Amino acid sequence: MRFFEQFSVTELSGNQMSITIVVAVILFAMLLASVFPGIKDYLKQRKTNRRIQRLGSKYIKHVMLPDGIGGSVFLDYIVLAPQSIMLVILKKFRGTIFCAENIDQWTQLIGNKSYKFPNTLQQLDSDISSVSSLVKNVNVTGLVVFSSDCTFPKGKPDRVKSISELKKTEADKQLHSETLLNAWYGLKDLAEQHMPSQSFAMDYFKDKDVKRSPLMPLLLGCALIAWLVWRMNFAS
């Protein structure tokens, strides 16, 4: 009789341990699944920043400057390139892109669906014109940079690049002219003074870098800890 009582207690304890482990593993897997997209986005953004850094010796991200006519110009990146101030428009697109210099609408193809969007070079030219009005005797250039998830089967203009195409430049501070450096630091000061007071300005850049809510990973982490603590107390 004692043997069966001992066996039942042992079997019950084993079942309880199995349940504890299975539920803990499930919660942990859910936790990993919830944080993985955020980690992936973070690493991808770091890679993008490193690639943009290849264009020059310094860069500023998410800049708003006066456009010279009472409004504002929003810039994804400003880069201190070897011979110019370079503006970069970043397009986090995927799929197949059909684009050309002199057409008003470009096309994104994803599977069997196509989406039209304005010729981004026109926006770039407008941004270059606005920034050129803020700095004198300095060359202002620009690029439209697409993510590495895009392909261009029909080719693309010279000022359109994939992020993977950005090559390392031999850009060193000592190589920049005094005029170029003064323009760079002048733009930095303007950017700091022209802080966005409008909510839409923050929304514009928020859309560029999608922030994932930490609520779900936090809840799952708390659930996992609470489950383990409760099971340990229950078992004791």
173 and 117 within one domain? yes
- 224 — pLDDT class (breaks 50, 70, 90): low
What does the pLDDT average to over 184-197? 81
Residues 92 and 179 in one domain: yes
Query: How far lies 32's CA from each of 128, 212, 217, 229, in Å?
Result: 43, 14, 8, 20
Shared domain check, 99 and 35: no
Instruction: Encode 203-227: b = buried (16+ Cβ within 10 Å), e = exposed.
Output: ebbeeeeeeeeeeebeebbeebeee
Is residue 181 located within the same domain as residue 226? no
Q: Does the structure show a pLDDT above 70 at 111?
A: yes
Same domain, 138 and 170: yes
Please state the rounded mean pLDDT for residues 93-97. Answer: 91
Q: Give a yes or no: residue 231 inside a domain.
A: yes
Q: How confident is the model at residue 51 (pLDDT cuts 50, 70, 90)?
A: confident
Q: Domain total for the chain?
A: 2
Confidence of residue 196 (pLDDT cuts 50, 70, 90): low
Are residues 137 and 218 both part of a single domain? no
Give the pLDDT score at 94. Answer: 87
Q: What crossing angle do the helices spanning 2-53 and 215-235 adopt, rounded to 10°?
A: 160
Enclosing domain of residue 220: 2-40+214-235
- On whether both 188 and 230 belong to a single domain, the answer is no
**pLDDT-based confidence at 39, cuts 50/70/90?**
low
> Are the C-beta atoms of 139 and 85 separated by less than 8 Å?
yes
Is residue 229 domain-shared with residue 189, that is, in the same domain?
no
Q: Could you tell me which of 101, 141, 139, 148 has the C-alpha nearest to residue 120?
A: 101
Q: Are residues 113 and 170 in the same domain?
A: yes
Domain for residue 23, yes or no? Answer: yes
CATH classification of the domain holding 80: 3.40.1350
Q: How far is Cα 7 from Cα 160, in angstroms, rounded to an integer?
A: 73
pLDDT digits (tens, 9 = 90+) for 160-179: 999 888 876 655 555 788 89
Indicate whether 205 belongs to any domain.
no
d(CA 67, CA 181): 21
